[in-house]
């Protein structure tokens, strides 16, 4: 079967099997910024934005995404020198160490800021509660997201 989706603004058609999850389809199609961690909805590494909401793509059936708009981390930067403000803030705040959690965390933050441009710190922490980071302790990531709040580009 096939699904038709818009990924990072580009219309795409993907061949899928009925049991495929969105995580595997996206990675197979080259969106390897979508990370595979637990495959159980626990780590958030596979987070993408689906129709405006941050979702765990390992728990999303690919067939359910037919007709959807999807944003992956590949869709954020306009070029290597023109990063999305969240990507720039993560760099500037030293909020990435190994980086494995970062694509998913930035997408959770983007979904939050798209809906609530001026979140409080508790709201930021709540938005990334499903994005586990084994490296940073979250403080710098929260600071990075708050630094972007209210001044999105
Ligand atoms: S791989 Fe999807 S939540 Fe961990
Ligand atoms: S920076 Fe390593 S898991 Fe978050």
Which pLDDT does position 151 carry in this prediction? 65
Burial call 110-143: b when 16+ CB within 10 Å, e when fewer = bbbbeeeeebeeeebeebbebbbbeebebebbbb
Kindly tell me if the per-residue pLDDT of 153 is higher than 60.
Answer: no
What integer is the mean pLDDT of 84-93? 96
pLDDT tens sequence across 25-83: 999 999 999 999 999 999 999 999 999 999 999 999 999 999 999 999 999 998 778 99
Which pLDDT does position 81 carry in this prediction? 80
Distance separating alpha carbons of residues 31 and 5, to the nearest angstrom = 14
Sheet of 47-50, strand order: 10-15, 2-7, 69-71, 47-50, 53-56
Kindly tell me if the per-residue pLDDT of 144 is higher than 60.
Answer: yes
Ligand 1 mutation pick, 46, 55, 102, 107, max ligand atoms within 8 A of CB: 46
Which pLDDT does position 79 carry in this prediction? 78
Distance 79 CA to ligand 1 centre (A): 27
Question: What are φ and ψ of residue 139, in 5° steps?
Answer: -60, -50
Q: CA dihedral defined by 92, 93, 98, 103, rounded to 10 degrees? A: -80
pLDDT higher for 79 or 19? Answer: 19
What integer is the mean pLDDT of 16-23? 98
CA Rg value for the chain: 15
Distance 138 CA to ligand 2 centre (A): 9
Which ligand 1 atom minimizes the distance to the CA of 41? 3
Nearest in space to 105 (alpha carbons), one of 44, 53, 59: 44
Domains assigned to the chain: 2-75 (3.10.20.30), 85-148 (1.10.150.120)
What are the residues facing 61 on neighbouring strands? 21
pLDDT tens sequence across 103-116: 999 999 999 999 99
Distance 11 CA to ligand 2 centre (A): 31
Which ligand 1 atom minimizes the distance to the CA of 43? 4
Nearest in space to 145 (alpha carbons), one of 70, 120, 52, 8: 120
Mean pLDDT for all residues in the chain: 96
């Amino acid at each position: 079967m096939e699904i038709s989706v818009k990924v990072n603004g580009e219309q795409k058609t993907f061949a899928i099997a009925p049991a495929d999850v969105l995580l595997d389809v996206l990675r197979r199609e080259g969106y390897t910024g979508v990370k595979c961690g637990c495959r159980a909805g626990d780590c958030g590494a596979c987070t993408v934005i689906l129709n405006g909401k941050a979702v765990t793509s390992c728990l999303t059936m690919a067939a359910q995404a037919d007709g959807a708009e999807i944003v992956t981390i590949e869709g954020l930067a306009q070029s290597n020198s023109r990063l999305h403000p969240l990507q720039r803030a993560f760099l500037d705040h030293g909020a990435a160490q190994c980086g494995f959690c970062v694509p998913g965390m930035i997408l959770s933050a983007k979904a939050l800021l798209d809906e609530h441009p001026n979140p409080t710190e508790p709201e930021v922490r709540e938005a990334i509660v499903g994005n586990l980071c084994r490296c940073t302790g979250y403080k710098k990531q929260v600071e990075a997201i708050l630094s972007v709040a209210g001044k999105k580009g």
